[in-house]
């Protein structure tokens, strides 16, 4: 009896051991019924049947086992679901996986092209389901693998592209919804035509383009940078073209997903408490919409409007551009004349145009590339195909240049063909100055020149020791200022810097010192001889702002002193140059944090709430506590600068207006500002007051809380902008859902809800309903009961067009993806 018991338990243990050893595989003798699963050897992934969300359909899929049960990464029968739990997965004698329903009909199979004697199906710890010979684990010999047929998820180790020998095309397709894994409307797929690139499409319509691979990243994905989570590679040869990435640390979990609403998102798992963290989004802003600005147009998200024509080009349909319809693009101002010697104009820091109609050579240098393009009259532009190590390779474009955008960093150089007569006009101002510096001295006698130089130098040094009053400089008249302002007559005694000092401080305005570009012109970082760091705003010759704004900014801010206003240190007017010198803000602007997937993680809720309150205090000072009442008129995230301790400072007073003590509002025929932040009464009627700034502040608060831009905001459930989305959630009692995912763990729910409530009060349609900034500061600093907000102004995206028989504008509803807001000047 004892021997029988020992034998029984031994056989039982052996059976258990065999079962556990084969837990990740299926053989011909096994099958998986609904309710049964197999798990990868390391326990990372599980395969079995599931029902997504509230759906009752059953699907065969793979999901994360250890970290996030329910996060599905692959579905076999996504378009042919089972309607009951009768499904069975088997491996037939040829090595083909078959999924059978209760009628024993095959509803899905792996369709292996080859067969082996002893096939097994195995779920690997990468999440890859493979069919192979039982005694051969070499990936090159797999009969079939799920990695070749991805759904909406791209995992480390996958090849995302096309095999040019077999024709296998691996690409992403979205789910229809979070509860329906069937093939959705969006695909992201490699296009091998011309110089290969990825296209994101809704049906057959392109919505986003990655741009071609430039050796470091895709040209249209500047946020794709070396990081501590994964390495990435692009392979282009005679056999295959694909993109892939590998984990640096196997303990880190990451995945890329094409969401049901068509957004490519990169997630990293943090822990069970915090869940999945959104690490990277391919589409950053409205300029990533494919061909937004049409042919020969260029998109710059820092400009308003964002679209502009390339130099030497003009809008093809000017009337359409006036109502923000840029799809018609631009046309050449001067036709090319190939026989008369065309040339090329360099565009630095851009996303390369659509390369479907391009030619490339990986061995040419840039000079050879230029000559190749120059000899072909149909060639419209050229660039390096690889920007590493100074650049190599060649890409040539034929036909229109489409989908160009400008970047502050990680763009590349593009050379656009121009008529010879156009090139001289766009010769850089630096080159012209260099010619003057070289030519003028040659014509002067040596001794006389030396004497004059010494005299001028001495006089100049003496003059610079004095403070130069701004009122002594003639800079034009602002037609908006129809009242006499006594403060403008005062000598402001603001330091006047000479050009040479600023040029030396900024290393002659080098690109490496450039901080960004605004409507005024470029901004440079500099360091004075004493070691003080400065920021220099340099008025560019083609700036949309001019002398009036330059003078206005100095007059408005020269004597303002508040911890939440940027400090103006001085100005420079010399050699036709006009520059403003500010204190340097090491953390740049607020928008570089809240709208950046990576940087936003550095801005937790306490910091964001501190910033909101700081901006409120700065506005309160402008509206109530400064010598004059100042209306900013262009309050937005990019005009909020952050110092070393992340204290906010309001900047850019070029559009500001000062009021006398008894003034409360004014009217203008020149509406200035930024779409998405302008109040309705200002945008439509040109009427502005302190309540216009309050509206902009409310938009800014909702953006800080949500991490989303009001302009261009999209939600799959509606066509409202961010204000409308916040209003909708508020009315449903779900305001907390507006919170940016990156701050959900650090947020104080009461403070967040209070901030959203205040933001909605500030963006109400009627200016009279909006609180003053003194009330806003009080509401943010205490837990008092708040009034109920009314419907926001401009909570749906609108288009304003000019009526043919009316002097006023009329509204025409449109999708939030169409445009934001364009306005006619009030009459």
| Active site residue ranges | 634
Number of Cα atoms under 13 Å in the Cβ half of residue 569: 17
Strand (E) or helix (H) holding 811: strand 809-813
Q: Beta strands 172-177 and 180-191: pairing type?
A: antiparallel
Radius of gyration of the chain (CA): 32
**SS3 letters for 70-99?**
CCEEEECCCCCCECCCCCEEEECCCCCEEE
Token pair 């998200």 in the structure block, residue: 301
Strands 358-361 and 343-351, by their bridges, are unpaired
Whether the CB-CB separation of 691 and 767 falls below 8 Å is answered with yes
Residues 559-589: b if buried by 16+ CB within 10 A, e if exposed: ebebebbbebbbbbbeeeebbbbbbbbebbb
CB of 648 closer than 8 Å to CB of 590: yes
What's the CA dihedral at 708, 713, 715, 721 to 10 degrees? 110
**CA distances (Å), origin 727, targets 16, 525, 734:** 58, 40, 10
**CA pair distance 213, 362, nearest whole angstrom:** 12
Task: Please give the biggest Cα pair distance in the chain.
Answer: 125
Residue 785 Cα to chain centre, angstroms: 37
Nearest one of 452, 469, 209, 424 to 334, comparing CA atoms = 424
Please give the helix or strand (H or E) that residue 114 lies within, else none. none
Strand partners, 265: 257, 281
Is 145 in a helix, a strand, or coil?
strand
Rounded Cα distance between 683 and 670, Å, is 10
The neighbour count for residue 22, using CB atoms within 10 Å, is 14
Q: How far apart are CA 657 and CA 668, in angstroms?
A: 11
CA distances to 207, 284, 701 from 281, in Å: 14, 6, 22
């Amino acid at each position: 009896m004892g021997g029988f018991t020992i034998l029984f338990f031994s056989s039982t243990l052996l059976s258990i051991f065999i079962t556990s050893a084969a837990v990740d595989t299926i053989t011909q003798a096994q099958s998986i019924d609904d309710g049964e699963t197999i798990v990868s050897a390391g326990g990372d992934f599980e395969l079995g049947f599931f029902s997504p969300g509230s759906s009752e359909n059953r699907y065969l899929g793979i999901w994360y086992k250890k970290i996030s049960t329910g996060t599905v990464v692959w579905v076999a029968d996504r378009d042919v679901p089972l309607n009951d739990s009768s499904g069975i997965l088997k491996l037939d004698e040829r090595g083909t996986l078959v999924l059978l329903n209760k009628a024993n009909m095959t509803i899905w199979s792996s369709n292996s092209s080859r067969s082996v004697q002893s096939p097994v199906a195995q779920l690997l710890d990468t999440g890859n389901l493979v069919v192979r010979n039982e005694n051969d684990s070499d990936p090159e010999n797999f009969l079939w693998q799920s990695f070749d047929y991805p759904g909406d998820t791209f995992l480390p180790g996958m090849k995302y592209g096309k095999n040019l020998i077999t024709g296998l095309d691996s690409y992403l397709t979205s789910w229809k919804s979070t509860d329906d894994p069937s093939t959705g409307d969006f695909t992201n797929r490699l296009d091998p035509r011309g110089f290969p690139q990825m296209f994101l499409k809704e049906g057959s319509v392109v919505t986003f383009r990655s741009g071609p691979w430039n050796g470091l990243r895709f040209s249209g994905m500047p946020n794709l940078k070396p990081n501590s989570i994964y390495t990435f590679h692009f392979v282009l040869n005679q056999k295959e073209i694909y993109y892939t990435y590998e984990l640096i640390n196997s303990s880190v979990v990451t995945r890329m997903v094409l969401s049901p609403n068509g957004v490519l998102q990169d997630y990293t798992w943090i822990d069970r408490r915090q869940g999945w963290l959104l690490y990277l989004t391919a589409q950053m802003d409205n300029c990533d919409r494919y061909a937004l600005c049409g042919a020969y147009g260029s998109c710059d998200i820092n400009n308003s409007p964002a679209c502009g024509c390339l130099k030497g080009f003009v809008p093809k349909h000017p009337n359409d551009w006036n109502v923000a319809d840029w799809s018609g693009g631009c046309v050449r101002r001067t036709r090319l004349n190939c026989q008369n010697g065309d040339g090329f104009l360099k565009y630095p820091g851009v996303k390369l145009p659509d390369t479907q109609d391009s030619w490339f050579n990986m061995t040419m240098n840039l000079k050879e590339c230029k000559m190749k393009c120059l000899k072909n009259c149909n060639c419209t532009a050229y660039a390096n195909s690889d920007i590493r190590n100074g650049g190599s390779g060649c890409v040539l474009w034929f036909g229109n240049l489409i989908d160009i955008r400008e970047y502050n960093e990680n763009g590349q150089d593009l050379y656009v063909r121009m008529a010879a007569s156009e090139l001289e006009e766009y010769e850089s101002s630096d080159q012209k100055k260099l010619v003057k510096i070289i030519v003028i001295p040659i014509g002067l006698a040596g001794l006389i020149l030396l004497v004059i130089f010494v005299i001028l130098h001495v006089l100049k040094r003496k003059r610079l020791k004095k403070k130069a009053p701004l009122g002594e400089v003639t800079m034009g008249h602002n037609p908006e200022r129809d009242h006499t302002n006594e403060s403008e007559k005062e000598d402001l005694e603001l330091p006047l810097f000479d050009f040479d000092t600023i040029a030396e401080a900024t290393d002659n305005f080098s690109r490496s010192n450039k901080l960004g570009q605004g409507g005024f012109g470029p901004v440079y970082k500099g360091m004075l001889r004493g070691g003080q760091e400065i920021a220099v705003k340099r008025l560019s010759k083609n700036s949309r702002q001019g002398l009036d704004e330059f003078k206005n900014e100095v007059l408005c801010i020269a004597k303002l002193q508040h911890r939440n206003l940027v400090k103006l240190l001085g100005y420079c007017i010399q050699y036709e140059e006009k520059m403003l010198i500010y204190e340097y803000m090491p953390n740049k602007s607020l928008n570089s944090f809240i709208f950046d997937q990576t940087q936003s993680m550095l801005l937790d809720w306490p910091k964001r709430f501190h910033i909101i309150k700081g901006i409120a205090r700065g506005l309160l000072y402008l509206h109530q506590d400064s010598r004059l009442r100042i209306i900013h008129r262009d309050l937005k995230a990019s005009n909020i600068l952050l110092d070393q301790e992340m204290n906010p400072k309001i900047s850019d007073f070029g559009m500001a207006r000062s009021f006398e003590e008894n003034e409360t509002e004014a009217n203008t025929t020149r509406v200035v500002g930024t779409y998405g932040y302008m109040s309705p009464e200002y945008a439509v009627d040109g009427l502005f007051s302190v309540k216009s700034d309050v509206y902009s502040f409310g938009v800014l608060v909702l953006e800080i809380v949500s991490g989303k831009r009001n302009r261009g905001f999209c939600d799959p459930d509606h066509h409202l902008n961010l204000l409308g989305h916040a209003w909708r959630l508020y009315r449903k009692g779900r305001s907390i859902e507006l919170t940016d995912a990156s701050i959900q763990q650090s947020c104080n729910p009461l403070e967040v809800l209070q901030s959203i409530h205040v933001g909605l009060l500030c963006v109400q349609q009627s200016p009279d309903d909006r609180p003053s900034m003194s009330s806003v500061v009080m509401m943010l600093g205490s837990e008092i009961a708040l009034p109920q907000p009314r419907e926001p102004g401009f909570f749906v995206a609108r288009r304003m067009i000019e009526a043919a028989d009316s002097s006023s504008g009329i509204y025409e509803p449109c999708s939030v993806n169409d445009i934001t807001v364009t306005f006619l000047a009030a009459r």
